[in-house]
Amino acid sequence: MANPKRKHRLNVEGKWFCTDVDDTDGEGCIACNICYTKASAFFGNDDQGNAYVKVQPITEEDIKICQELLEACPVQAIGKNG
């Protein structure tokens, strides 16, 4: 599970977040690019390719997309408990 205490500095405020690459608990983003290539409306990437949430999902359809990517993240770097 993504650690809400280790959020990427570029995440926008809200329930959804990505963890920082330096998360020592092993849940940090590894720049696999799954989330920001599949849902660039919600996820962005920094200069090193690490993901962050740039827009919070609002509609049920948007939330479903983000949930699918949360489940697909190979290192559990996407969280949704803000």
- What tokens does 10 get? 């570029």
pLDDT band at 27 (very low <50, low <70, confident <90, very high): confident
The domain spans of the chain are: 4-79
Average pLDDT, the chain: 93
| pLDDT for res 59 | 98
Does the domain formed by 4-79 have CATH 3.30.70.20?
Answer: yes
- What tokens does 4 get? 């809400």
| pLDDT for res 41 | 98
Q: Please, are residues 54 and 76 in contact by the beta-carbon 8 Å criterion?
A: no
| pLDDT for res 21 | 84
Quick: pLDDT tens for 46-76: 999 999 999 999 999 999 999 999 999 999 9
The Cα-based distances of 40 to 14, 22, 23 in angstroms read 17, 23, 23
Residue 9 has pLDDT above 70, yes or no: yes
